[in-house]
Structure 1
Amino acid sequence: MLLPMSPTDSMFLVGESRDHPMHVGGLALFEPPDGADAQAMRAMLDASLTGGAVSSLLSKRARRSVTTLGQWGWEEDVDVDLDHHIRHDALPAPGGITELMELVARLHSGLLDRSRPLWEVHLIEGLSDGRFAVYMKIHHALADGVSALKLLRSALSEDVDATGMPAPWEPLVRERPSLHLVPDAPTTSSGRLDLSAAVLRAARGAAGEAAGMLPAIVGTIDRARRGHGGPLTLSAPKSMLNVPIGGARRFAARAWPLERLRLVAKCADSTINDVVLAMCSGALRTFMGDLDALPEDPLVAMVPVSLRGERQDGKAGNEIGVLMCNLATHLTDPAERFDAVRVSMREGKDAMRTRSSAQILAMSALGTVPLALGMFGLGGPIRPPNVMISNVPGPRKALYWNGARMSALYPLSIPVDGQALNITCTSTDDEIAFGLTGCRRSLPPLAPLLDHLDNELGALEQSVGL
């Protein structure tokens, strides 16, 4: 028996091809505990393979059949061949970050095997500084970036002395089958669920959502027509980023002290996400300007917004809305670009604030139509936004796996036709990492973008008086 898959999740399977892998990934670096080395860490991870235990999320396989009328669903509790899903890799000399990024770019290029659960973990040794790396990729149909980070977080501890911890693919001791209950469901005097009342309330809610959907969509189109921030843009220029892509990937990543971005945000009365977007704005302006490829009109970024509430913390899959941000790359002054980014994001958030999650999803779906058409090889009258920029919140404290400190966490994401570059950020206890994932065929090496991001952070600090 197959469990149904949501239309949002199944879209990532339908839109996937050899040139369009649809998985997200993460690269974590660990410092071995005192008295141990990378070889000892590998031994601990290898020991986890002998047990054969796999979490319920990673024991699901995507499948469709005649009985499902060709629709994708999830087959649960399948046998998992850990020898297939867990791979060992070693870096060539000199074993530096450059060699690590090149290896991970190649690993991120390959498709996941659809006859098996859609994930892989690569244990990477050979780093010259003695650290050990773990690269994990998981299909976007199975988990979005927030879910993938929570999966990794669940295998780590804030206690440096904690031992006997599960590997990232193993179930937690507390893992139990989830119960999907109706929140605040009414009961009768005997304590039984009053299903008639629950059904009526659900029907009233659905009717209210439907009544509010048309005004939400009309308002979205009107805001885009007037050039205001929101889930739709009608003004993204054509650029070197908006081209068909191939399956090979480029990857570059670097981390900065989170406190630097926090201070800029505080001095400018903005958010850390605004600072991230402003850094990307200035970096892309310089990067594309050096290639004589900067459009006259400002670039527009698609910014995913997680819609997960407290009740959804244990839920996998995808719950994402989007905003379109004017990156103001036509402006030469960093302070003016920063201000334009803040205004655009504030307008977009204001447009979403009075809407329900369902209405936001509908508004966001309208904004992603041009990109979705590109995923399926179709064109459209509206150009998609130029670049995807995500900021996925990470752990707020230092994390350890059996005494080994996670010293870095770099995210990898999904370029698509019409968006050859994806920029994803995630924070650890004291750093924020930028992961740049691009199409190898369409884009030059991405390492220069890292230097431009660094320069732009310095310019923003100067602009607010730091």
Structure 2
Amino acid sequence: MTTFDRLSALDAAFLDIETERAPMQVGWTMRFAGEAPGIEQLRSHVESRLESVPRLRRRIVEPAMGLGDPHWVDDQLFAIDRHVNVIHMVASDQQPALSAVAEELLSQPLDRSRPLWRLQLVTGLAEGGFAIIGQAHHALIDGLAALEIATIIFDGVATPNDEAAARWLPEEAPSTSEVLTAAALSRIGAGSDVATTLVRSIAGGPAALVEAVTALVALFTPGNRTALENSASPRRRVAFASLPLERMQGAAQRHGVTINDVLLASSGGAVSGALARRGEQPDGIRVLVPTTVRQPGESAASHGNRISVMVVELPLNANDPGSVLRTVGRRTKTLKRAGYAGTLDTAVRAADLLAPPVRSAAVRAAIGAAHFTLVISNVPGPSAPLELAGRELEGIWPAVPLIDGHALSIGAISHAGVLHVGCFADAALVPDLDLIAADIAATFDQLCEMAPPQQAPWQQRARQRRDARRVA
């Protein structure tokens, strides 16, 4: 029997919700120091590492009339030069910035008849160095897997295997009977997994389960729409910010929150300004914060999407970012304690039990009913410097895809002491994206310079007792 590589319900969901004006493609822009490698050198470099991520040579097959599940099959016509290409910039006073080049490339849809990824080498940048701009469909990978795939090209991350690349031959696609058999077996396994997860959730106590379900219901509670909850075009805008991780860690420690809370509060300040420019001043917005549900040792690049989300009510108060930060910290702590992300993951995995046409209809209905303003994602990256063929990586900025009906996303990746923030937007609706990125950095600076709030006497005594116990 040939290999049957089935898309999970979550993988397939990203195909279901894709529209012409909202392609579900994860993107990233990487900037390097030094002279660019030649295109043939880069192609050989990438191809020698594909053995570790088999899906990079596979395309999606969706059986007619829902007879079987969508699955990956080896692309019989796979060629590395269809996926790794080069753009040579011409030196001139009119040369576009790297962000403008990224906008053009990240606006181009991927071809579903081929493996769903590509890399573009960009040379001749006016400020020196070179860039690689990548895309992969969300059906192939989540944010963590995107980072793992993006980094396999770096020196010392994946072991190159030129011999394996040379002898690779595509497998034949599974037969209809094999597809139907695999679909039946997968539902038996999915049912067992869901039952086990439900038992664990109940064993965690009814209070935590009730909190998690209550938070999930909140996602579908109608609220006031903002100007950022709209779609107009598949054209995208890109803007970057880079925040020193040491300062971010210091601010988080002073205020008793996490790094992710600091990113959320900084983003809140920027979104508040963007809405004010559109004549809107809501007290808060609802944001989706992706969280990984991978188990320790589980390879991100080999298992598709393994994410859930937290639904966070993000207050908007540009005049008091410290208060926003502390409120966000309390709310995310409550959601984590309730195990909300795990509860949603169980619900998503239960969709694996549904026939593809029913699942697709349910996914589209759920997305249409969900109410949120934007996605804010933060993926922890490598702390050590990275190199590609001896050229140092200077920065990596993500592009989180926009769900139809939403005009802005914010993504971040940490690398070598810096949190790189990528803002991604519908070009027709968010012409002020550069201001949003600048406001994220400005709000971040405010939070870093802000003293922690004064504690009440009883809080000081409690802290002194905790410190004394630690010393003892």
TM-score by length of 1: 0.78
Quote the sequence identity (%).
26
> What is the SS of the residue equivalent to 1:282?
helix
Match of 1:288 in 2: 275
| Structure 1 position 307 matched with structure 2 position 309 | no
Deviations 1:185-204 (A, max 9, x none): xxxxxxxxxxxxxxx99998
Code of the aligned partner of 2:339: M
> What is the SS of the residue equivalent to 2:87?
strand
> What is the SS of the residue equivalent to 2:339?
helix
Match of 2:241 in 1: 254
Contact between 1:25 and 1:412, CA under 8 Å: does it hold in 2?
A: yes
In structure 2, the gaps of 5 or more residues are 169-187, 351-359, 454-472
Match of 1:185 in 2: none
Match of 1:20 in 2: 22
Deviations 1:104-161 (A, max 9, x none): 11211121111111111101012123211111101111111100111122222369xx
Task: Supply the distance in 2 between the matched residues of 1:308 and 1:432 (Cα, whole angstroms).
Answer: 22
Task: Supply the distance in 2 between the matched residues of 1:53 and 1:322 (Cα, whole angstroms).
Answer: 30
Q: Cα distance 1:326–1:377, how it changes in 2: closer, same or farther (>3 A)?
A: closer
Aligned ranges 1:103-252 → 2 under 5 Å? 103-157=101-155, 166=160, 207-210=195-198, 219-223=211-215, 232=219, 234=221, 236-252=223-239
Q: Aligned-pair distance for 1:374?
A: 12
Contact between 1:90 and 1:125, CA under 8 Å: does it hold in 2?
A: yes
Pairing partner for 1:452 from 435, 439, 446:
439
Pairing partner for 1:31 from 30, 33, 39:
33
Q: Cα distance 1:344–1:256, how it changes in 2: closer, same or farther (>3 A)?
A: same
Task: Supply the distance in 2 between the matched residues of 1:113 and 1:255 (Cα, whole angstroms).
Answer: 32
> What is the SS of the residue equivalent to 1:238?
coil
Match of 1:11 in 2: 13
Code of the aligned partner of 2:32: F
Task: Supply the distance in 2 between the matched residues of 1:218 and 1:448 (Cα, whole angstroms).
Answer: 40
Task: Supply the distance in 1 between the matched residues of 2:290 and 2:124 (Cα, whole angstroms).
Answer: 35
Task: Supply the distance in 2 between the matched residues of 1:287 and 1:398 (Cα, whole angstroms).
Answer: 34
Code of the aligned partner of 2:297: R
Match of 2:464 in 1: none
Contact between 2:194 and 2:346, CA under 8 Å: does it hold in 1?
A: no
> What is the SS of the residue equivalent to 1:327?
strand
Match of 2:456 in 1: none
| Structure 1 position 82 matched with structure 2 position 80 | yes
> What is the SS of the residue equivalent to 1:438?
strand
Structure with the bigger percentage of helix: 2
| Structure 1 position 269 matched with structure 2 position 256 | yes
Contact between 2:272 and 2:318, CA under 8 Å: does it hold in 1?
A: no
Q: Aligned-pair distance for 1:166?
A: 4.7
Code of the aligned partner of 1:309: Q
Q: Cα distance 1:236–1:386, how it changes in 2: closer, same or farther (>3 A)?
A: farther
Q: Aligned-pair distance for 1:99?
A: 2.2
TM-score by length of 2: 0.77
Match of 1:389 in 2: 376
Match of 1:195 in 2: none
Q: Aligned-pair distance for 1:50?
A: 9.1
Contact between 1:53 and 1:170, CA under 8 Å: does it hold in 2?
A: no
Q: Aligned-pair distance for 1:18?
A: 1.9
Match of 2:284 in 1: 298
Code of the aligned partner of 1:45: L
Pairing partner for 1:45 from 32, 42, 47:
42
